[in-house]
Structure 1
Amino acid sequence: MSRRLSQRFRRTPPPLILAALYGVLIVIGASLLKLPSAATTTITWSDALFTATSAVTVTGLVVLDTGADLTLFGQIVVATLIQLGGLGLMTFAVLVLAALGLPVGITGQLYLRDDLNQSAMGQLMKLVRTILKVVAVCVIVGAVALAVSFVPRFGLWQGLWEALFHSISAFNNAGFSTFPDGLVPFATDPVVNIVIPALFIIGGIGYVVLHDVFTKKTWRKYSLHTKIMLVGTGILIPWSVAMFAALEWSNPGTLGQHDTAVARLVVSWFQGVTTRTAGFNTTDIGAMHDSTSMMFISLMLIGGGPTSTAGGIKVTTFVIMLIATIAFFRRQTQLTAFGRSIGLEQVLKVMALTAISVILVFVGVFLLTLSHDGDFLDIAFEVASAFGTVGLSRGYTGELDDFGRAVIMAVMFLGRVGPLTLGFFLATRVTPRVRYPEGQVHLG
């Protein structure tokens, strides 16, 4: 019996095993949050499961006041779930094994390869070491820097804990905050507006990019992936910041409440860069214009970088989709970028990822509009935020019933682990035994 189970386990695709591990972690986290020592009030299993799912998928949508409804133990549970979910379960397991001097093994490397969304195993251990260094340095430095603002306001020990919690949450692009109004009270705080964005930009750009930046000294030596990520991020950040400022400048519910242009630009900077991945807010998201909310939906669906703590379809997917579209209109038969060609398999993967993402978001919006009353834009914004594991909300999370929470939890989970399972099926090659004559299909 044990041998059969072992054989079935080995035959199970690594992405499905990893998805199951994420599910197990959610159940464990929810069980811990249900303990009397974890909460200051009575919370339901629905509350616990939603909070655990949001933490493990590093989303940040909440049905509880993290600072008021959870004790210090409960907050530690949430922070641990965020770190495990953001770092990746297999990455964490490999780090533990390496610290104990135990071998990872070929099976573990296979799971690690899929957890990090890699196609080869040659550079895995180097990448894991880079991840360990980046995580440790960023979280510690971020906590120390945030303590400069938090300790004077909350006292030594409370301030240090708030700094550590928000550093973990920011680096992992989780968007969880122990403050009831998020980071709105720190809207113009210079430390918060520098440290928090720096943490979630580093965490969301991807470990592969960071590895290239740390180990390769010149632009020419960077991989195609790194170049696309850096250029794509370098365009999206100014675009989102400028658009938010332009759309919300005179809105009394957001930027208009600030008297000076400098304050408005500071808030625009923070809210513009946080939209694609992190989910923190220094202004009232529910008070934004509909046009701004639509822009935010598009940015949340794009997300951050592969092998990062961010969600969405990823910047590389979006860029390659644009390159393929331009190539089609130019009648080009080969896709190129930065002196490198992009294979047909990559284009097909982009198409599949985009199609599945659109279908998933559409189904989520349909189910919520079918079962809930409310503004359509609020619902669409909620689903897009869940899929992109962003965590921003127009105030609709609290309106969800148990079915609505289940839908959002499923979208959050699939938004986080869906590419893992999809990657396996895309990697499965079936050699056609019969070749058929080409047919004509009218498109567009």
Structure 2
Amino acid sequence: MLPTSRVGPGGASFLEALFTATSAVCVTGLTVVDTPVYWTGAGQVIILALIQIGGFGIMSFASLLGVLLARHLGLRSRISTAAETKSVGIGDVRRILLGILKITLLVEAITAVLLSGRFFVGYDRGPAEALWLGVFHAVSACNNAGFALFSDNLVGYVGDPWICLPVAGAVILGGLGFPVLFELRRRFRYPRKWFLTTKLVLPGTVLLLVLGTIFITAVEWSSPATLGQLRPDQRVLAGFFQSTMTRTAGFNSLDIGQLHPVTLLGMDVLMFIGGGPAGTAGGLKITTFAVLFFIVYTEISGGTAVNVFGKRLPRSVHRQAISIVLLAGALVVGATMFLMLITDFGLDRILFEVVSAFATVGLSAGITADLPSVGQVVLILVMFAGRLGPVTLASALALRSRPLQFEYPKERPLIG
């Protein structure tokens, strides 16, 4: 709110500052003002610092909760939890934090060099400006924040692979999660020894990226407002980039407000799923939906136990996944219904905005700034709940698990 943070006289209003700070710390990317126009260099530095602190803090928080969970349980459960839930092991806190910091800074540095070089060579930006643009967007991408220093985000670079691919690469790496990156660094050549989290996140990420790219590209292929104006190779690049960004990073190289309602609905699903656990990605995480998928598959195939890659999932994990999805769905539906009551925007755009806030994606159909104050407060609460809710709820459910000394007799209600 300091006057030095805003262009023009006076400082930002409390709600504008609160919304921007929440969006930055929760690495979401939704905005109520035009970032490069409204905020001064000092304001942009504050936003960048909040993104960096928020991203590092979230990864550290999630990873340390895994350690806490492992140490809270018995020895057998510790080994199982460390191997199957978070895969960070039960080592010391210092090693985990240093590992997160090293990986984060390495990805950001490589991305910043690539982007700065492109801005300097390809777009005649001065050395200082090119470096600032490269660093800002690298940090924003690695932390899956989606803040950009261009009024149209990255729409002006829709056909430039030297901008889109480094940003997409940083988003993917940040979205995999620290446990997966840490294990790939140690055991990249020994996939059979990978923990279950890694075995679920890696193929799940590839599958969602491919399916998302095909879906967005196919639906928008001939639309003159989006992909129709681009060359075929640029259409594929834009489809891949937008599919990547639905993994909880709010950059956009297409005008989201011009997308077909079917595209918006498909992106809602991708945003709701999210990325890997204990990373900068939001959503309910690939592992959560993978557990649900295998539960359904086991039930349809007539199995008695949910087995995944040669390991049996505990029933407590079944209950945790189902509980998180149902509670998250209730929050999204409730917020959507409330915003529909106080605004005149359609269901598709409001739902997109709410899911984007909950999944800390930051993609916007262009209505956030036009929402009334109470509507923006709702999105602030949804962003906060979406950022910290799933990981804390999952950990709380696991820590509350207690074996009972008795069981009630079974009785089956009619289903379906």
In structure 2, the partner of 1:15 is none
* 8 Å contact from structure 1 (residues 127, 211) kept in 2: no
- Listed one character per residue, the Cα deviations across residues 123-169 of structure 1 (whole Å, up to 9, x for unaligned) are 65443332122111111111111011222433111111111000000
One-letter amino acid of the structure 1 residue matched with residue 117 of structure 2:
V
Bigger mean CA offset, 311-320 vs 266-275: 266-275
Gaps of 5+ in 2: 73-81
Please give the TM-score of this superposition, normalised by the length of structure 1. Answer: 0.85
**Count of residue pairs brought into register by the alignment:** 397
- Asked if structure 2 preserves the Cα contact closer than 8 Å seen for 1:184 and 1:281, the reply is yes
CA contact (8 A) 2:86 2:197 kept: no
CA distance in structure 2 between the aligned counterparts of 1:107 and 1:223, rounded to whole angstroms: 18
**Per-residue deviation, residues 305-344 of structure 1 (Å, max 9, x unmatched):** 1001000010111111111101111121111121111111
2:2 aligned with 1:35? yes
User: Which residue of the partner structure matches residue 61 of structure 1?
Assistant: 30
Aligned residue in 2 for 1:348: 319
Deviation at 1:89, TM superposition (A): 6.0
- Listed one character per residue, the Cα deviations across residues 348-373 of structure 1 (whole Å, up to 9, x for unaligned) are 11111111111111111011111111
Select which of 193, 202, 211 maps to 1:239.
Answer: 211
Aligned identity (percent) is 38
Equivalent-residue separation in structure 1 for 2:113 and 2:412 (angstroms): 63
Residue matched to 2:52? 83
Letter in 1 for 2:166: V
SS of the equivalent of 2:30 reads: coil
The corresponding residue for 2:78 is none
Q: In 2, distance between residues paired with 1:374 and 1:232?
A: 33
Aligned equivalents of 2:153, 2:301: Cα separation in 1: 47
Give yes or no for contact 2:86–2:277 (8 Å, CA) kept in 1: no
Contact 2:118 2:162 (8 Å CA) reproduced? yes
Partner residue, 2:299: 328
Q: Secondary structure at the match of 2:250?
A: coil
Please, which of 278, 281, 286 is the counterpart of residue 310 of structure 1? 281
Following the alignment from structure 1 to structure 2, what is the Cα–Cα distance between the partners of residues 57 and 47? 15
Partner of residue 19, structure 2: 50
- In structure 2, the partner of 1:9 is none
Cα separation, 2, equivalents of 1:159 and 1:179: 13
- Displacement of 1:425 in angstroms is 3.5
CA contact (8 A) 1:327 1:334 kept: yes
Tell me how far apart the structure 2 counterparts of residues 201 and 113 of structure 1 sit (CA, whole Å): 30
Specify the SS of the correspondent of 1:389.
Answer: coil
CA distance in 1, matches of 2:329, 2:204: 21
Q: CA deviation at 1:180?
A: 0.1
Q: Give 1:205 shift.
A: 0.6
**Given the two structures, how large is their TM-score scaled by the length of structure 2?**
0.90
CA contact (8 A) 1:113 1:124 kept: no
- Assess if the C-alpha contact under 8 Å between 1:61 and 1:393 holds in 2: yes
Gaps of 5+ in 1: 1-33, 95-105
1:136 aligns with 2:105: yes
Hey, what does 1:101 align to over in structure 2? none
Partners of 2:58 and 2:234 in 1: CA distance: 40
Counterparts of 1:235-314 in structure 2 under 5 Å?
A: 235-258=207-230, 260-314=231-285
- Note if contact 1:90-1:111 (Cα within 8 Å) is conserved in structure 2: no
Among candidates 350, 361, 364, match of residue 379 of structure 1: 350
Confirm or deny that 1:194 pairs with 2:161: no
Judge conservation of contact 1:53–1:409 (CA < 8 Å) in 2: yes
Q: Deviations over 1:276-295 (max 9, x none)?
A: 21111111111111111110
Secondary structure of the equivalent of 1:256?
coil
CA RMSD of aligned residues (A): 2.3
